[in-house]
Amino acid sequence: MTERGTTGPQIHRTVADLRRALAAERTGGRRIALVPTMGALHEGHLSLVRKGFALADAVVVSIFVNPTQFAPHEDFDAYPRTEASDVDKLAAFGVGHVFAPSAREMYPDGFCTAVSLGGPALGLETDFRPHFFSGVAVVVAKLLLAVLPDVAVFGEKDYQQLLVIRQLVRDLNMPVEIVGAPTLRETDGLAMSSRNAYLDPQARRTAATLYATLADTAARLAADPGDLAALDDGCRRLEQAGFRVDYLALRDAATLAPLEAASDRPRRLLVAAWLGQTRLIDNIPA
């Protein structure tokens, strides 16, 4: 089930094939990094791959559009699938192994394990996508345990997801270091995302307001940490630009807990908002 082009990465479709290939990679104490993706790779993903190579000798990229983290009404069917061009991009980076299993390989008949978290999984995305982190927790656990990398790299663009995964790994004693990598942005500030491809030219122009609002709100909060009216103003600005806002929230950067008054712990400003049928998320320190 392992495929290989003349120069590109090996493509593994089963956990068994993947493990066989990685056993050879591990000889001599070589370190392995995993970069989990849903494919539709853009520069943001490639920066995670670059980070993987900085931290390990070999990089495995998984490509799997995980059905269990989409609700029935969400964009699972529409989510872009571009495996051939994804593999070409990874070949150019010297990635040796792609793990691209079928849904059946990941969730065979009889599959019946659920994982759920409190803590950083509470609120924010969970208020709007209640199944999301349970789906993420299971698939990330499976990917981490299939690959058993020394380190796995996740983008800060999905900041709540990054904290949930750190917590999952810590709670279950998974022997993997989780590393977050900074969000890459287009020249107008929009965070790179596979879902940006859904935006028509006009929506794409409007989308820049998301980051601009985050940046301006964070600047106001930097000037006056207690100026929480900045959040209301940010929401209003997004709505006036044509967004439907799920949340624009200021949270403890380490735990995502609502802020206690007079705390000087690092904070994070997080946003999720819709432009038409496209849901965008972003976050920055604040």
Q: Please count the other Cβ atoms lying within 10 Å of the Cβ belonging to residue 167.
A: 20
How far apart are the C-alpha atoms of 105 and 146, rounded to whole Å? 12
Q: Residue 121: name the closest of 108, 106, 110, 136 by CA.
A: 136
**Residue 208 belongs to what H/E stretch?**
helix 201-223
Task: Identify the bridge partners of residue 43 per DSSP, sorted by sequence position.
Answer: none
Instruction: By CB under 8 A, tell whether 172 contacts a copy of itself.
Output: yes
52 labeled binding residue: no
Helix (H, G, I), strand (E, B) or coil at 132: helix
131 noted as active-site residue: no
Question: Looking at beta carbons only, is 71 or 141 nearer to a copy of itself?
Answer: 141
Tell me which amino acid residue 266 is.
P
Catalytic pick among 12, 45, 73, 97: 45
DSSP 81: -
Q: Could you write out the DSSP letters of every residue in 209-261? A: HHHHHHHHHHHHHHH-TT-THHHHHHHHHHHHHT-EEEEEEEEETTT-PBPPT
For position 240 contacting a copy of itself by CB under 8 A, the verdict is no
Q: Is 142 in the site for a copy of itself (CB under 8 A)?
A: yes
Rule CB under 8 A: choose which of 65, 100, 117, 272 binds a copy of itself.
117
Separation between Cα atoms, residue 31 and residue 52, nearest integer Å: 10
Interface map 53-92 toward a copy of itself (x if CB under 8 A): ----------------------------------------
Among the residue ranges 34-42, 79-87, 112-120, 244-252, the one whose residues contact a copy of itself (CB under 8 A): 112-120
Distance CA 159, CA 106 (A): 25
CB atoms within 10 A of CB 97: 23
Least distance CB 262 / a copy of itself (angstroms): 22
Mark the segment that binds a copy of itself (CB under 8 A) among 31-39, 59-67, 79-87, 116-124.
116-124
Neighbours of 36 (CB within 10 A): 24
**Residue 192 sits in the site that holds a copy of itself (CB under 8 A):** no
| 263 lies in the binding site for a copy of itself (CB under 8 A) | no
- Contacting residue, 21, 38, 91, 174, with a copy of itself by CB under 8 A: 174
Q: Which residues bind a copy of itself (CB under 8 A)?
A: 15, 19, 110-119, 121, 137-138, 141-143, 145-146, 148, 167-168, 171-175, 255
Please state the residue numbers annotated as binding site for (R)-pantoate: 69, 161
Catalytic residues: 45
Q: Which residues are annotated as a binding site?
A: 38-45, 69, 155-158, 161, 184, 192-195
